[in-house]
């Protein structure tokens, strides 16, 4: 028995003592295969899930590696049932393989006849099988490559996809490292992990250079590429980055969005345009067949709209790389990311990259404000649906925002919120420009430029600034309201501050919470993400800000 920071329990939960001297080391190793469930002050609870184990196995971690982590850091012996269950679960990955036979026909193969018989008799899988040519294989309908992987995962048998990929139309793309930049070691590792398997997800913190990983994947495959992004601003930032980091010319890169419909060897399309309907039909799906794409890049894959999963099921013969800061999806469709985009191939912890100096350090704070008596009465009388909005957009937060801004003279500050009327009020109260979904793209880009170049130091922004916005000199974010405690959103908003800076400021990330309301309850969910990445909250009282 050791004095480790972990307690492994027979229900596959793992308790981490936060104050222990080895807590950070244990956290980094545990997070490879376990998911953080609760993160109160002193003891964090992780759960070992099947999908977490399979993602870890796909990324190259063995059952022995994972059990060694538990044995090394556990205070008490690991329960035998956990060890056995972990080995058996990890051992399921790769027992079934999707590949091609000598004639090029798609087959589902296994060296375990019992497993093959079990899945072949499943009523949702059976219709996807077209023959049984050998004792160890079934032929599969060509169109069903994605769907059969989805169905197999649902019944606990994740298939390894070795069926190969179409090369697509060749197109010469190289990285241009002739300037003052070079790929970082972890970026090279991520690209190499993708090259080895041809599909999968790379998890890197915001500001760690996911776009460069995407560009390097394009240079590695040298083929026509479709890049799917969250919005038009992101599309243009991808275009600018590709022109800066690769040998591509402006004529080779097209934008396919609400503003432009260009199809070129490298085409950057928004998720919105792909999912736009006209007369009940997806009007722009022809884009997927316009070119013989050899690579599909999914930016911010944790935000992939549900309809795009169905489209992706039909794109299994194309190489695919997903880029994200977190595999957490609020809709619970992590399994579809695993099946259709591919399993996690590479994951670098935020704090590890911060320690190497590639992203800025950050301090996180929760600032609690009290609702005045009148607002508390209104909150008490409100329906459940109304309470979060009343608490999150409480006018009492405006004074706290002013005092936080005053604490950071000379720094560039983002005030981020969910509700447009709240943002309008804050913009007027602070005398600062605001950016929302209604702000024209050209105006957004101009305001972002002014902020980057220091012409303005304060911006009030809605959730449109959550994604793929490059504002490296932002060193303070004040979050006044959000999407019901979304961990995705927390990753994106903190990420606005983590890009490397010319200044030596430690980034400050504040979340304003109305005390004793659902606002405070939802904050606990967001804290889970930060704790998972090794960050901790300091709790502040708004009444103490002025004195601090």
Tens digit of each residue's pLDDT (9 = 90 or more) over 121-135? 999 999 999 999 999
Strand-pairing partners, residue 139, are 107, 131
pLDDT given at position 470: 60
Poorest-pLDDT segment among 88-97, 457-466, 482-491: 482-491
pLDDT grade for 419, boundaries at 50, 70 and 90: confident
The arithmetic mean of pLDDT across residues 300-304, rounded, is: 78
Structure tokens at 334: 């992590």
Put simply, whether the predicted model's pTM sits higher than 0.85 gets the answer no
C-alpha distances (whole Å) from 500 to each of 19, 184, 430, 455, 473 are: 29, 13, 27, 20, 8
Contacts of 393 (CB under 8 A, 6+ apart): 417, 418, 419, 421, 422, 480, 481
Averaged pLDDT score across all residues of the chain: 85
389-410 pLDDT tens trace: 888 888 888 999 999 999 989 8
At 124 the pLDDT is: 94
The DSSP symbol for 74 reads B
pLDDT band at 261 (very low <50, low <70, confident <90, very high): confident
- In this prediction, residue 106 carries a pLDDT of 94
Residue with the larger pLDDT of the pair 148 and 517: 148
Of 245, 228, 363, 229, the residue nearest 296 (C-alpha)? 228
Size of the chain, expressed as the number of residues it contains? 548
Give the model's pLDDT for residue 485.
Answer: 44
Q: For 162-176, what is each residue's pLDDT tens digit? A: 999 999 999 999 999
**Options 3.40.50.300, 3.20.20.150, 3.30.70.260, 3.40.30.160; CATH of 185-354:** 3.40.50.300
State percent of the chain over pLDDT 90. Answer: 41
Greater confidence (220 vs 372) lies with: 220
Identity of the highest mean pLDDT range in 41-50, 96-105, 280-289: 96-105
Residue predicted with more confidence, 28 or 71: 71
> In sequence order, which residues have a C-beta less than 8 Å from that of residue 64 and are 6 or more positions away?
none
| End-to-end CA gap in the chain | 45
Give the residue-averaged pLDDT of 76-94: 95
- Position 93 confidence tier, pLDDT thresholds 50, 70, 90: very high
Tell me where in the chain the CATH 3.40.50.300 domain(s) lie: 185-354, 360-544
CATH of domain 360-544: 3.40.50.300
Position 92 confidence tier, pLDDT thresholds 50, 70, 90: very high
Residues of the chain above pLDDT 70, percent: 88
Q: At residue 466, does pLDDT exceed 60?
A: no
CA 526 to chain CA centroid, Å, is 14
**Does residue 548 have a pLDDT over 50?**
no
pLDDT at 411: 87
What are the φ/ψ torsions at residue 363 (nearest 5 degrees)? -110, 135
* Residue 87 confidence (pLDDT): 97
Which tens digits make up the pLDDT trace of 487-499? 555 556 666 556 6
């Amino acid at each position: 028995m050791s004095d480790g920071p972990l307690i492994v329990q027979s229900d596959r939960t793992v308790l981490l003592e936060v104050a222990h001297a080895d807590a950070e080391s244990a956290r980094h190793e545990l997070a490879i295969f376990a998911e953080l469930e609760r993160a109160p002050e002193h003891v964090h609870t992780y759960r070992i899930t099947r999908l977490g184990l399979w993602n870890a196995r796909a990324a190259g971690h063995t059952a022995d590696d994972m059990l060694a982590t538990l044995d090394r850091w556990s205070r008490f012996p690991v329960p035998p049932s956990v060890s056995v269950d972990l080995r058996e679960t990890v051992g399921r990955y790769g027992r079934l393989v999707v590949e091609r036979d000598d004639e090029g026909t798609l087959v589902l193969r296994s060296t375990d006849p019992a497993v093959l018989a079990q899945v072949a008799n499943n009523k949702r899988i059976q219709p996807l099988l077209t023959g049984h040519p050998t004792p160890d294989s079934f032929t599969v309908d060509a169109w069903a490559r994605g769907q059969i992987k989805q169905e197999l995962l649902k019944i606990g048998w994740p298939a390894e996809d070795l069926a190969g990929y179409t090369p697509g139309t060749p197109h010469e793309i190289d990285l241009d490292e002739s300037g003052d930049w070079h790929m970082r070691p972890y970026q090279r590792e991520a690209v190499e992990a993708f090259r080895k398997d041809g599909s999968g997800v790379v998890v890197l913190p915001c500001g760690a250079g996911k776009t460069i990983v995407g560009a390097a994947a394009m240079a590695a495959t040298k083929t026509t590429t479709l890049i799917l992004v969250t919005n038009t601003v992101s599309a243009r930032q991808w275009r600018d980055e590709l022109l800066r980091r690769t040998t591509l010319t402006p004529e080779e890169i097209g934008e396919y969005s609400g503003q432009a419909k260009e199809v070129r060897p490298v085409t950057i399309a928004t998720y919105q345009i792909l999912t736009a309907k006209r007369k009940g039909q997806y009007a722009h799906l022809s884009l997927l067949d316009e070119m013989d794409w050899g690579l599909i890049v999914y930016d911010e894959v944790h935000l992939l709209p549900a309809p795009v999963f169905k489209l992706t099921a039909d794109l299994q013969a194309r190489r695919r790389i997903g880029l994200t800061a977190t595999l957490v999806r609020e809709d619970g469709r992590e399994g579809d990311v695993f099946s259709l985009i591919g399993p996690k191939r590479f994951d670098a912890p935020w704090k590890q990259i911060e320690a190497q100096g590639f992203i800025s350090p950050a301090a996180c704070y929760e600032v609690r404000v009290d609702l005045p008596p009148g607002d508390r009465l209104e909150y008490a009388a409100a329906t459940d649906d109304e309470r979060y909005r009343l608490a999150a957009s409480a006018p009492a937060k405006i004074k706290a925002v002013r005092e936080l801004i005053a604490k950071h003279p000379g720094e560039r500050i983002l005030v981020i919120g969910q509700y447009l009327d709240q943002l309008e009020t804050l913009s007027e109260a602070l005398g600062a420009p605001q950016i929302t979904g209604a702000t024209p793209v050209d105006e957004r880009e101009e305001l972002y430029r002014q902020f980057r170049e220091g012409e303005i130091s304060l911006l009030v922004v809605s959730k449109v600034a959550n994604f793929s916005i490059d504002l490296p000199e932002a060193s303070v974010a004040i979050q006044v309201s959000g999407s019901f405690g979304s961990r995705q959103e927390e990753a994106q908003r903190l990420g606005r501050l983590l890009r490397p800076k010319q200044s030596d400021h430690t980034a400050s990330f504040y979340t304003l919470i109305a005390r004793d309301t659902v606002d405070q309850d939802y904050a606990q969910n967001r804290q889970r993400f930060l704790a998972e990445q090794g960050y901790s909250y300091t709790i502040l009282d708004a009444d103490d800000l002025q004195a601090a």
